[in-house]
Amino acid sequence: MFVKIRKATTKDVPEILNLIRELAVFEREPHAVEVTEEELLQDGFGENPAFEALVAETKNGIVGMALYYYRYSTWKGKTIHLEDLIVKQANRGTGIGKLLFESFLEEVKKQGVRRAEWVVLDWNQNAIDFYEKYGASILRDWHLVQIDNQTIMKNSK
Amino acid sequence: MFVKIRKATTKDVPEILNLIRELAVFEREPHAVEVTEEELLQDGFGENPAFEALVAETKNGIVGMALYYYRYSTWKGKTIHLEDLIVKQANRGTGIGKLLFESFLEEVKKQGVRRAEWVVLDWNQNAIDFYEKYGASILRDWHLVQIDNQTIMKNSK
């Protein structure tokens, strides 16, 4: 199967949103996706884009993507955060995830940042094994903390 | 004690770096800080700044800061990430952390994002209790993953 990894364009947005929804189902949070096509278009493809994405394209269309953006570490300076690495269920186990991840690492090298980072679910041992093969470190002593806007509104005068 | 919370300016950079180094000691990684004054100046105060910071100022100078930047969630759209919330050791327990954190939440409201997020060390129960009082959720099923540039270089042809 011929797979091409390339930067995402505006035309890919509907398929990108489908992949995002598929990942939310896999991560057992099918109703968590609030983002819309319009927002993805505006946020990722206008001036000062909030993210970039690599897509894996076959003759059947987009079958996977790696979506990332810059962050800032007060220890390491600019870093790159891999927000999503997604391969369509029907195409898993065919090396597309590896291709996408390695293209992402090439991008990290090209940008010359000191670190790249992302998160993984503790029960997703396949993913943990995959990342460790590349020498990535799994940090088990940090917790993510989140607060949504409704909670902030409720707790402030 | 009079404390003023305000946006950081270029003049605050030396004191900001001191606070960053103090936090690294507290987090048991005193040698992890590679970032320099020059980088902080360039990355945070030029065009398209990679971060913003609020500082807490008293007549003795800067005694704390909240440093944050935008991220992008493919579920929630633009989010704000609180990278560091630091109060100088000598000034802890005086309500400055609360002032800084609440000013950060005001900023989150103002920006109209759906979510704010940050990380906490699993042994830092004081911080966990503090955040939970505001209704924040501690996510214990995600691990951070990191890879540094040397490791990427070593593993690629």
Phi (first) and psi of residue B113, to 5 degrees: -80, 160
Contacts of B44 in chain A (CB under 8 A): 72
Instruction: Quote the pLDDT of residue B30.
Output: 86
Q: What is the pLDDT along chain A (157 residues), one digit of tens a residue?
A: 799 999 999 999 999 999 999 999 988 898 999 999 999 999 999 988 999 999 999 999 999 999 999 999 999 999 999 999 999 999 998 999 999 999 999 999 999 999 999 999 999 999 999 999 999 999 999 999 999 999 998 877 5
Instruction: Quote the pLDDT of residue A30.
Output: 86
Q: Which of residues 5-44 of A touch B (CB under 8 A)?
A: 20, 23-24, 29, 32-35, 39-40, 43-44
Tell me whether residues A69 and B74 touch, CB distance under 8 A.
no
B157: pLDDT confidence band, cut at 50, 70 and 90?
low
Instruction: Quote the pLDDT of residue A101.
Output: 97
Q: How far is A63 from chain B (nearest CA, A)?
A: 17
Q: How far is A93 from chain B (nearest CA, A)?
A: 22
pLDDT digit string, tens, across residues B47-89: 889 999 999 999 999 999 999 999 999 999 999 999 999 999 9
Q: Which of B143, B149, B153, B155 to mutate to test the interface with A (most CBs of A within 10 A)?
A: B143
Separation between Cα atoms, residue A48 and residue B97, nearest integer Å: 32
Q: How far is A145 from chain B (nearest CA, A)?
A: 5
pLDDT digit string, tens, across residues B99-109: 999 999 999 99
Residue B121, Cβ density class (10 Å: 0-12 exposed, 13-18 middle, ≥19 buried): middle
Q: Which residue of B has its CA nearest to A128?
A: B145
Separation between Cα atoms, residue A155 and residue A148, nearest integer Å: 11
Task: Using a CB–CB cutoff of 8 Å, tell me whether A75 touches chain B.
Answer: yes
pLDDT digit string, tens, across residues B137-150: 999 999 999 999 99
pLDDT digit string, tens, across residues B93-134: 899 999 999 999 999 999 999 999 999 999 999 999 999 999
Q: Which residue of A has its CA nearest to B29?
A: A75
Q: Give which of A138, A123, A131, A148 is closest to A97, Cα–Cα.
A: A131
The reply to whether the predicted model has a pTM over 0.90 is yes
Instruction: Quote the pLDDT of residue B155.
Output: 78
Instruction: Quote the pLDDT of residue A67.
Output: 98
- Say which amino acid occupies B152: I
Residue B80: helix, strand or coil by DSSP?
strand
Tell me whether residues B24 and A75 touch, CB distance under 8 A.
yes
Domains of chain A listed by start with CATH number: 4-155 (3.40.630.30)
pLDDT digit string, tens, across residues B27-56: 889 899 999 999 999 999 998 899 999 999
Task: Give the number of other CB atoms < 10 A from CB of residue B116.
Answer: 25
Q: What is the dihedral of CA B28, A143, A54, A37, to 10 degrees?
A: -140
Q: Which residue of B has its CA nearest to A117?
A: B146
